[in-house]
Amino acid sequence: MLKLKRQIIRNFYLSLLIVLLSINISGGDEKYKFKVIAEKPGSIITSFYVYSKSSEDAKEEVSLNGWKVISVERIESTEYKQKVDNGVVKNALQTDFAKLKLIKTFYFDKGAFSFNLDNDTINFIKSLDKNKVYYIYGHTDSLPVNPNDKYKNNYELSILRAKFVKDLLKKYADIDENAKIVGLGEFYPLVSNSFEGAVQNRRVELYESD
């Protein structure tokens, strides 16, 4: 039952992500990055990063997906747009999420974006089909990070985790162009970020497209 519940939550967040980010990267007008905090009845409060012309547009985009908006804050940064323009998010959206299959979850220590490989993991990666497309989603827990020369926040940490897994696919399975990555930061937890839950949320999910 718990496994089914997690799968439902995961599928919901993925479908919501494709709607929100598809809206955010469309069009050529000047847009700004907003942090939107929202909730649904009986659901946990979560946050989205939305790229819109105004705070009202950002609020409307999230509200249209059934969320109750608590607050909207403009983020004075071009970092998100640069990552979108460079294809980090775009490439990961060019698929039908209904056809994605979760085939592996990799877990990370707190603050880490790599891990020691064992033979089982290497053999699993070597067994992947080069002709299929893979989508790699990086996640973190909600604990604040210690900014360093590698990453400044959980969003950047999640990207590094996803990139680490992509590099493994390239090294052991010769899969490069068919591997798409996106960092989701702390905003899509599977479970509560308690001490035990945080361990499960520090993850990278590897999906295979049929």
Q: Which of 30-39, 62-71, 85-94 has the lowest mean pLDDT?
A: 85-94
pLDDT reported for residue 117: 95
- In whole angstroms, give the CA distance from residue 87 to residue 182: 9
pLDDT of residue 42: 57
* 55 has a pLDDT exceeding 50: yes
Q: Which CATH architecture has domain 2-76?
A: Roll (3.10)
For the chain, the average pLDDT equals 77
**Cut 0.75: pTM above it:** no
> pLDDT value at position 18?
47
**Does 51 have pLDDT greater than 80?**
no
Q: What is the pLDDT of residue 7?
A: 53
DSSP symbol at 48: E
**138: closest CA among 171, 91, 187?**
187
* Three-state secondary-structure class, residue 177: coil
Q: What is the Cα–Cα distance from 178 to 15, expressed in whole angstroms?
A: 21
pLDDT confidence of 120, banded at 50, 70, 90? very high
Mean pLDDT of 186-196: 80
Question: Nearest to residue 80, comparing CAs of 185, 210, 204?
Answer: 185
Spatial separation of the C-alpha atoms in residues 192 and 76, rounded to whole Å? 29
CA–CA distance, 205 with 201 (Å, rounded to integer): 10
pLDDT at 73 over 70: yes
pLDDT for residue 17: 54
How far apart are alpha carbons 20 and 49 in whole angstroms? 9
For the segment 1-46, what is each residue's pLDDT rounded down to a tens digit? 555 555 545 555 554 554 444 444 344 456 677 777 877 665 556 6
Domain boundaries, the chain: 2-76, 90-209
Of 25-29, 151-155, 205-209, give the lowest mean pLDDT range: 25-29
In terms of CATH architecture, what is 90-209? 2-Layer Sandwich (3.30)
- Asked whether 202 and 108 are in contact (CB, 8 A), the reply is yes
